[in-house]
Chains A and B, each alone.
Chain A
Amino acid sequence: MPGTAFPAARPVGVSSSSTMLSPRQGLLRPVGCGVEELRRRRREREAALRRARREQQLVSKRLLRDDTPEEAEGRCVAAVLGEAEIQQFLRLAQRGTEEKEREGALVSLRRGLGHPETQQTFIRLEGSMRTLVGLLTSNQALLQLEAARCLHELSHSEQAEVAEACLPATSYLLTYLAGHSSDLIELCLYTLGNLIVESEAGRRQLLPQGIVPALASCIQSPHLAVLEALGYALSQLLQAKEAPKKIIPSVLASPIPEHMLRLLQPGPKLNSGVAVEFAWCLHYIICSQVNNVLLITHGAVSTLGLLLMYLAGTVQSSEDAGLELLFLLQKHPSLLPEGLWLLNNLTANSPSICTSLLSLDLIKPLLQLLPVSNVVSVLVLTVLCNVAEKGPAYCQHLWPGPLLSSLLDTLAFSDTEVVGQSLELLQLLFLYRPEAAQAFLQQSGLQALKRHEEEAQLQDRVHALQQTALHR
Chain B
Amino acid sequence: MQLPPAVHARLAAGPGAAEPLPVERDPAAGAAPFRFAARLVRFPREHEFFEEGDVQRHLYLQDVLTGVAGVPERPRVPEFTCQVAGCCQVFDTLEDYEHHYHTLHRNVCSFCKRAFPSGHLLDTHILEWHDSLFQVLSERQDMYQCLVEGCTEKFKTSKDRKDHLVRHHLYPGDFRFDKPKKSKGPATSMAAMEVPTEAMGDDGDTMEVCSEHVTPPPEPVGEKRTYRHRVPSTVCFGQGASRGFKSTKSRNKH
Contacts and interface: CB of A to CB of B under 8 A. Distances in A.
Given A60-B62, A355-B19, 4 more contacts: A179-B103, A184-B103, A287-B45, A389-B38
Contacts of B66: 24-26, 62-65, 190, 228
| Most chain A CB atoms below 10 A, which of B17, B205, B213 | B17
B195 interface: no
A88 interface: no
Nearest to B114: A139
B79 interface: no
B168 A180 contact: no
25 contacts: A11-B64, A15-B63, A25-B65, A134-B203, A138-B205, A140-B205, A140-B208, A142-B100, A179-B118, A180-B106, A181-B98, A182-B98, A183-B68, A208-B170, A217-B149, A330-B2, A360-B4, A360-B6, A389-B25, A389-B37, A391-B22, A427-B30, A432-B26, A432-B29, A460-B33
A393 interface: yes
Interface of A: 10-15, 17, 23-28, 42, 45-46, 49-50, 53-54, 56, 58, 60-68, 93-97, 99, 102, 134-135, 137-142, 144-145, 149, 168, 171-172, 175-176, 178-184, 186-187, 190, 205, 208-210, 212-214, 216-217, 225, 228, 232, 244, 276, 280, 283-284, 287-289, 314-315, 317-319, 321, 323-324, 326-327, 329-330, 333, 337-338, 341, 344-345, 347-349, 351-352, 354-356, 358-362, 364-366, 368-369, 385-386, 389-394, 397, 421, 423-425, 427-428, 431-432, 460-461, 464
B252 interface: no
Contact of A392 (B24, B44, B49, B120): B24
B78 interface: no
B191 interface: no
Interface in B141-184: 148-151, 168-172, 175-177
Interface string B13-35: 11111111111111011100111
Contacts of A327: 3, 8
A351 B23 contact: yes
Nearest to B47: A287
A368 B2 contact: yes
B20 A355 contact: yes
Given A175-B121, A330-B1, A337 B52 contact: yes
Interface residues of B, number: 104
A175 B117 contact: yes
Contacts of B115: 139
A190 B238 CA distance: 35
B41 to A, nearest CB: 6
Given A139-B104, A183-B99, A361-B4, A389 B208 contact: no
B51 interface: yes
A184 B6 CA distance: 53
Given A13-B63, A97-B207, A341-B49, A391 B35 contact: no
A32 to B, nearest CB: 19
B59 A42 contact: yes
A431 B26 contact: yes
B60 A15 contact: yes
B169 to A, nearest CB: 5
Given A15-B63, A138-B203, A391 B23 contact: yes
A182 B203 CA distance: 23
Interface of B: 1-4, 6-8, 10-26, 28-30, 33-46, 49-71, 73, 95-96, 98-100, 102-104, 106-107, 115, 117-121, 148-151, 168-172, 175-177, 202-205, 207-209, 211-213, 215
Contact of B65 (A11, A56, A186, A423): A11
Contact of A393 (B17, B22, B61): B22
B225 to A, nearest CB: 20
A320 B67 CA distance: 41
A156 B32 CA distance: 56
Contact of B58 (A58, A369, A392): A58
A91 to B, nearest CB: 10
Interface of A is mostly: helix
Given A208-B170, A318-B14, A360-B10, A65 B67 contact: yes
Contacts of B15: 317-319, 321
Contact of A137 (B6, B13, B22, B203): B203
Nearest to B30: A389
Interface of B is mostly: loop
Given A326-B1, A369-B1, A390 B18 contact: no
Contacts of A244: 45
A359 B36 CA distance: 24
| Most chain A CB atoms below 10 A, which of B23, B38, B99 | B38
| Most chain B CB atoms below 10 A, which of A182, A183, A319, A330 | A183
B223 to A, nearest CB: 27
Nearest to A54: B51
Contacts of A62: 61, 64, 66
A64 B68 contact: yes
B203 A183 contact: no
Given A176-B117, A348-B40, A427-B34, A17 B176 contact: no
A42 B35 CA distance: 41
A178 B117 contact: yes
A17 B56 contact: yes
Contacts of A423: 34
A213 B148 contact: yes
A141 B38 contact: no
A384 to B, nearest CB: 11
B100 A138 contact: no
Given A50-B55, A208-B170, A365 B21 contact: no
B49 A314 contact: no
A139 B54 contact: no
Contacts of B70: 24, 225
Nearest to B148: A210
B92 to A, nearest CB: 13
A325 B201 CA distance: 63
A17 B104 CA distance: 42
Given A99-B211, A348-B40, A355-B18, A139 B149 contact: no
Given A348-B38, A460-B33, A67 B54 contact: no
A260 B144 CA distance: 34
Contact of A49 (B55, B120, B213): B55
| Most chain A CB atoms below 10 A, which of B4, B35, B59 | B59
Nearest to B43: A287
A232 B200 CA distance: 34
A317 B42 CA distance: 26
